């Protein structure tokens, strides 16, 4: 009897700790996204103001990965961006990310606000438990200069040169452009 009680207690305790850990991971992921997005948007806006979208392309191609590396290191996780139609093939989604991106599209079609859309799950990868998190990125007005349908020819030319496999144009305001994605080893 005693043994059963301790097993039950242990199971409950483990459950509580796991749930607490997950809440912390979600909070930390939200903070990481906020930091990444805030910094990137700030740099993007000032580069656009200073030299227009052609000039700002460099911010996206060089600063975005650099900011992602800094935030990842600081928070002890891996943060990046992904999309069903990536500009950089290096940002292509893995299987879990692809499923979540499709789920986000479905949730949006069902009327959910994409600004608040997120998903987290603990999954097994290569025999290891990892925490995964994604947050949707809706397309705003600013984004259309480089992800819209009617691009300035100079912008198109530069994008073509840097990203010959670019699939990230033709978006309208409010569309899901992609998502932030986080992996954390547990
Ligand atoms: C000045 C041009 C420019 C603007 C404006 C811009 N982007 Fe991008 N975006 C890029 C470039 C270049 C990349 C490829 C970055 C890389 O190589 O990782 C990119 C990549 C991305 C990615 C990563 C997935 C992929 O397609 O490779 C997302 C998500 C994204 N942009 C969202 C946005 C959103 C949301 C906005 C508006 C807030 C925005 N972008 C505004 C140029 C731009």
pLDDT of residue 6: 76
* 9 CA from centroid of ligand 1 (Å): 49
φ and ψ at residue 180, rounded to 5 degrees: -80, 145
Q: Which residue from 39, 79, 146 has its CB within 8 A of the most atoms of ligand 1, so it is best to mutate?
A: 146
Hey, whose CA ends up nearest to atom 11 of ligand 1? 60
Residue found under tokens 């990965």: 65
Q: Distance between CA atoms of 56 and 114, rounded to whole angstroms?
A: 25
Does pTM surpass 0.85? yes
Q: Which SS3 state, helix, strand or coil, does residue 137 take?
A: strand
| CA proximity to 178, closest of 126, 131, 139 | 139
* 8 CA from centroid of ligand 1 (Å): 50
User: Could you tell me the end-to-end alpha-carbon distance of the chain, in angstroms, rounded to an integer?
Assistant: 33
Hey, whose CA ends up nearest to atom 37 of ligand 1? 143
pLDDT of residue 14: 67
Q: Which SS3 state, helix, strand or coil, does residue 116 take?
A: helix
Per-residue pLDDT of the chain (186 residues; tens, 9 = 90+): 777 777 776 667 666 677 777 889 999 999 999 999 999 999 999 999 999 999 999 888 999 999 999 999 999 999 999 999 999 999 999 999 999 999 999 999 999 999 999 999 999 998 999 999 999 999 999 999 999 999 999 999 999 999 999 999 999 999 999 999 999 999
**Inter-CA distances, 68 with 2, 39, 120, 161, 184, Å:** 51, 10, 19, 23, 14
Q: Distance between CA atoms of 93 and 179, rounded to whole angstroms?
A: 10
Q: Distance between CA atoms of 183 and 186, rounded to whole angstroms?
A: 10
**Number of neighbours of residue 135 by Cβ within 10 angstroms:** 23
φ and ψ at residue 92, rounded to 5 degrees: -60, 145
- Residue 7: enclosing H or E segment and its boundaries? helix 2-58
Instruction: Mention every residue, 6+ apart, whose C-beta is less than 8 A from residue 21.
Output: 186
pLDDT of residue 13: 66
**Inter-CA distances, 109 with 79, 112, 120, 140, Å:** 26, 7, 20, 18
Q: Which two tokens stand for residue 103?
A: 């789920």
Q: Which residue from 41, 87, 169 has its CB within 8 A of the most atoms of ligand 1, so it is best to mutate?
A: 87
């Amino acid at each position: 009897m005693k043994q059963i009680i301790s097993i039950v207690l242990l199971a409950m305790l483990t459950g509580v700790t796991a749930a607490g850990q997950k809440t912390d991971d979600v909070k930390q992921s939200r903070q990481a996204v906020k930091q990444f997005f805030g910094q990137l948007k700030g740099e993007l806006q000032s580069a656009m103001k200073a030299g227009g979208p052609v000039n700002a392309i460099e911010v996206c191609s060089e600063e975005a990965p650099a900011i992602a590396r800094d935030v990842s290191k600081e928070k002890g996780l891996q943060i990046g961006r992904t999309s069903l139609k990536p500009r950089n093939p290096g940002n292509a989604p893995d299987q879990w990310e692809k499923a979540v991106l499709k789920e986000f599209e479905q949730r949006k079609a069902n009327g959910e606000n994409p600004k608040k859309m997120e998903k987290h799950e603990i999954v097994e990868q290569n025999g290891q438990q990892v925490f995964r998190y994604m947050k949707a990125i809706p397309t705003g007005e600013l984004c259309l200069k480089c992800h819209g349908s009617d691009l300035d020819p100079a912008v198109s030319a530069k994008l073509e040169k840097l990203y010959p496999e670019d699939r990230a144009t033709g978006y309208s305001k409010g569309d899901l452009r992609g998502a932030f994605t986080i992996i954390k080893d547990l």
